[in-house]
Amino acid sequence: MLPSDLKIALPSTDELPCCDDIPVDNEDQNFLPNVLLFLLNSIWANRMDWFFGVDMAVYHTTGVNPRVPVVPDAFLSLGVERKKGGKSRKSYAVWEENDVVPILTLEMVSHTPGGEYDEKLAIYTKLGVLYYVIYNPEFWRRDQHQPFEVYKLINGNYQLQISEPLWMPEIGLGIGRHQTVIAGIQQEFLSWYDQQGNRYLTDAEQVQQERERAKELAQYLRSLGVDPDNLPGK
Q: How far apart are CA 45 and CA 76, in angstroms?
A: 15
Question: If you average pLDDT over each of 5-9, 29-33, 205-209, which comes out highest?
Answer: 29-33
Q: For residue 97, which of 107, 84, 88, 110 has the smallest C-alpha distance?
A: 84
pTM for this model (two decimals): 0.84
Q: Which amino acid is at 122?
A: A
Assess whether pLDDT exceeds 90 at residue 116.
yes
The better pLDDT of the pair 227, 165 is held by: 165
- What's the pLDDT band for 133 if we cut at 50, 70, 90? very high
Residues found in the chain: 234
- Please give the torsion angle defined by the CA atoms of residues 164, 169, 172 and 176, in that order, rounded to the nearest 10 degrees: -10
| Pairing assessment for the beta strands 104-108 and 131-135 based on DSSP bridges | parallel
Residue 191 has a pLDDT of: 96
**Quick one: pLDDT at residue 15?**
65
Section 163-168 average pLDDT: 97
Distances (CA, A) of 229 to 173, 208, 223: 41, 20, 14
Distances (CA, A) of 188 to 144, 180, 208: 20, 6, 19
Stronger pLDDT, 164 or 4, i.e. the higher one:
164
CB-count exposure of residue 50 (10 Å: 0-12, 13-18, 19+): middle
Contact criterion met (CB below 8 Å) for 47 and 67 = no
Percent of the chain with pLDDT over 70: 79
Instruction: Specify the pLDDT at position 2.
Output: 54
**Amino acid (one-letter) located at 140:** W
- Alpha-carbon span 214 to 228, nearest angstrom: 10
Closest by alpha carbon to 121, among 103, 101, 105, 98?
Answer: 105
Mean per-residue pLDDT of the chain = 87
Out of 27-36, 65-74, 76-85, 218-227, pick the least confident. Answer: 218-227
Cβ–Cβ contacts within 10 Å for residue 60, how many?
Answer: 21
Q: What is d(CA 77, CA 3) in angstroms, rounded to the nearest whole number? A: 22
**Helix or strand or coil: residue 116?**
coil
